[in-house]
Amino acid sequence: MLKKLVFIPDIRICALAVFFFLVPGVVFPVVTKADKVLVIKNKRVLMLLRDGEIFRTYKVALGKQPTGHKTRQGDRRTPEGKYVLDSRNPKSKYHLAIHISYPNESDILNARNRGVSPGGDIMIHGLPPGVGKSEEAYSFLDWTDGCIAVTNSEMEEIWQLVADGTPIEIKP
């Protein structure tokens, strides 16, 4: 004798379906993306902004010579000015890297007038491999060659919250 199967829906699933799909005005949460990144070098801070409002803040490490604008390759300074986050490297020698569009036209012209190369390859990136539990110590020292460094977990968050093409302003 065959028994007829009867489908009885789980009440919890039905309640969720009603709440999310049938109730007018319910909006699914959306991850806020930054529309600007602001770095203030003398405070060692990177901020993500949306519509002029700060929604995330990170402590950063800078180039080994953090005071002043980058003027040439090898000066170990972090540039100052307005740039764009224009590409990313998931296979960086550091934990993820987002490229900053340094040098801009002004940086190139200034370096040319001095007879030097302006340098390049300035990034926001995580830490080198093998840091392990000493990750936090890296945020108290300026150790890069001009890049802006955060912890690996912070870099993963920034990677998700900042799209290519986002403007970045680096202030003294």
pLDDT digits (tens, 9 = 90+) for 31-79: 789 999 999 999 999 999 999 999 999 999 999 998 999 999 999 999 9
Give 82 or 130, the one with higher predicted confidence. 82
| Highest mean pLDDT, choosing among 5-14, 28-37, 142-151 | 142-151
End-to-end CA distance of the chain: 83
- Whole-model pTM: value is 0.80
Q: Give the pLDDT confidence of 157-170 residue by residue, as tens digits.
A: 999 999 999 999 99
* Position 42 in a domain: yes
Its domain, for residue 159, covers 34-171
- Whole-number pLDDT of residue 18: 47
Alpha helix ranges (H) inside the chain: 11-17, 105-114, 152-161
Please state the domain count of the chain: 1
* Mean per-residue pLDDT, 119-143: 83
Which CATH number does the domain housing residue 67 bear?
Answer: 2.40.440.10
The two structure tokens encoding residue 59:
């402590």
Asked if residue 2 belongs to a domain, the reply is no
User: Looking at the domain assignment, is residue 6 inside a domain?
Assistant: no
Q: Evaluate if residue 102 carries a pLDDT over 80.
A: yes
> Two tokens at 82?
């307005």
Burial string for 120-158 (b: 16+ CB within 10 Å, else e) reads bebbbbbbeeebeeebeebbeebbbbbbbbbbbebbeeb
CA distance 29 to 25: 12
**Domain-embedded: residue 90:** yes
Residue 94 lies in a domain: yes
Place of tokens 């390859």: 121
Q: How far is CA 139 from CA 5, 31, 101, 134, 147, in A?
A: 62, 26, 23, 10, 13
Residue scoring higher pLDDT (7 or 160): 160
Is there a domain that residue 21 lies in?
Answer: no
